[in-house]
């Protein structure tokens, strides 16, 4: 969606891809393909050197290697910064709204990120701050649960676990909240951050400030025709595995400052629950 939005707005796009299928998609969309991989830092540097601005939204979502993948993202951002520093060419990197979760209230764009020593994903924003210090015009998009009818961020993994275990679970009363955004609304925000973003600015890609995890679990239960059940915090870790860390988190977030600063507004897209109720993900 980002590629299509950029091209529709008149930009020429050079897209990094590791596969021939990805290259065909880029060419069919009207973009140029640049073969490489986020683990091949030389391909990252050469692509950035050929570009007037860079959007970095790739991330390895193998959560069995989460810490290592977060540190790899740090290296990617540092490599991009080494090419762009001092040029005023913009760099937009990706983080998550959960990195600035604020106890008892909506997190906002001006909330500082949690250190990577506490939440490994903080490495991306630490790297963004470091390259900004070296003279890179870098801004950060913080993503919540990005959804359509096929995929829904962390909820996709909750669906997999519910299918495997025969129940759709939530922790306690399930009233902890996850912010959400439809996939179609994300692309224009990345473009606006590229065009208008200011150095070290954080932007929240949020349409729904907080969807309760119980509502999500019940929607999954309907989709899979399995019961939605409450688990104690003690049993949640065993049930959810690595997802257990997130399952009990309250992660509501606001995009009010993003809308004010960039003139971006979520459009009338389906909500998270509507996409789960009508999903092709079951």
pLDDT (tens digit per residue) in 91-133: 999 999 999 867 789 999 999 999 999 999 999 999 999 999 9
**How far is it, in rounded angstroms, from Cα 21 to Cα 262?**
34
Share of the chain above pLDDT 70, in %: 100
Give me the pLDDT at residue 134, please: 96
- With beta carbons less than 8 A apart as the criterion, state whether 182 and 269 touch: yes
Share of the chain above pLDDT 90, in %: 89
Is 80 exceeded by the pLDDT of residue 228? yes
Average pLDDT over residues 229-247: 90
Give me the pLDDT at residue 101, please: 66
Is 80 exceeded by the pLDDT of residue 178? yes
Burial of residue 248 (number of CB atoms within 10 Å: 0-12, 13-18, 19+): middle
Residue 55: CB atoms within 10 A of its CB come to 22
What tokens were used for 262? 């960039």
Burial of residue 260 (number of CB atoms within 10 Å: 0-12, 13-18, 19+): exposed
Is 70 exceeded by the pLDDT of residue 205? yes
Mean pLDDT across the chain: 95
Average pLDDT over residues 16-41: 95
- Give residue-wise pLDDT tens across range 253-263: 999 999 999 99
List beta partners, residue 169. 229
Average pLDDT over residues 188-199: 97
Domain 37-277, CATH class in plain words: alpha beta
Is 90 exceeded by the pLDDT of residue 242? no
- Give residue-wise pLDDT tens across range 45-79: 999 999 999 999 999 988 889 999 999 999 999 99
Closest of 124, 137, 129, 153 to residue 216, by C-alpha:
153
pTM comes to 0.94
- Name the pairing type of β-strands 208-212 and 145-147: unpaired
What tokens were used for 211? 């969807």
**How far is it, in rounded angstroms, from Cα 197 to Cα 142?**
13
Cα-Cα-Cα-Cα dihedral sign, residues 234, 239, 243, 248: negative
- With beta carbons less than 8 A apart as the criterion, state whether 78 and 43 touch: no
What is residue 172's three-state secondary structure? coil
For the CA atoms of 197, 101, 129, 255, what is the dihedral angle to 10 degrees?
A: 0
- The count of C-alpha atoms lying within 13 angstroms of the C-alpha of 196, restricted to the half-sphere facing its C-beta, is 13
**How far is it, in rounded angstroms, from Cα 221 to Cα 229?**
9
Burial of residue 150 (number of CB atoms within 10 Å: 0-12, 13-18, 19+): exposed
Give me the pLDDT at residue 275, please: 97
């Amino acid at each position: 969606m980002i590629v299509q939005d950029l091209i529709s707005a008149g930009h020429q796009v050079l897209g990094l891809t590791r596969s021939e299928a990805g290259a065909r998609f880029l060419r069919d969309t009207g973009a140029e393909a640049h073969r490489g991989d986020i683990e091949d830092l030389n391909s990252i540097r050469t692509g950035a050197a050929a570009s007037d601005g860079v959007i970095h939204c790739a991330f390895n979502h193998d959560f069995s290697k989460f810490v290592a993948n977060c540190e790899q993202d740090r290296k990617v951002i540092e490599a991009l910064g080494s090419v762009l520093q001092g040029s005023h060419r913009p760099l937009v990197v990706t983080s998550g709204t959960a990195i600035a979760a604020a106890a008892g209230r909506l997190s906002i764009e001006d909330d500082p990120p949690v250190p990577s020593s506490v939440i490994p994903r903080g490495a991306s924003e630490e790297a963004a701050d470091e390259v900004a210090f070296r003279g890179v015009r870098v801004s950060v998009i913080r993503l919540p649960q990005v959804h359509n009818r096929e995929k829904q961020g962390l909820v996709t993994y909750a669906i997999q676990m519910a299918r495997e275990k025969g129940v759709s679970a939530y922790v306690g009363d399930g009233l902890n909240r996850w912010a959400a955004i439809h996939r179609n609304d994300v692309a224009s925000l990345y473009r606006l951050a590229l065009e208008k973003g200011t150095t070290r600015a954080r932007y929240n890609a949020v349409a729904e400030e907080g969807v309760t995890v119980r509502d999500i679990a019940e929607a999954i239960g309907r989709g899979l025709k399995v019961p939605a059940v409450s688990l104690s915090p003690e049993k949640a870790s065993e049930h959810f595995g690595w997802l257990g860390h997130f399952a009990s988190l309250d992660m509501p977030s606001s995009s009010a400052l993003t809308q004010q600063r960039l003139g971006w507004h979520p459009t009338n897209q389906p909500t998270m629950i509507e996409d789960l109720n009508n999903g092709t993900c079951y």
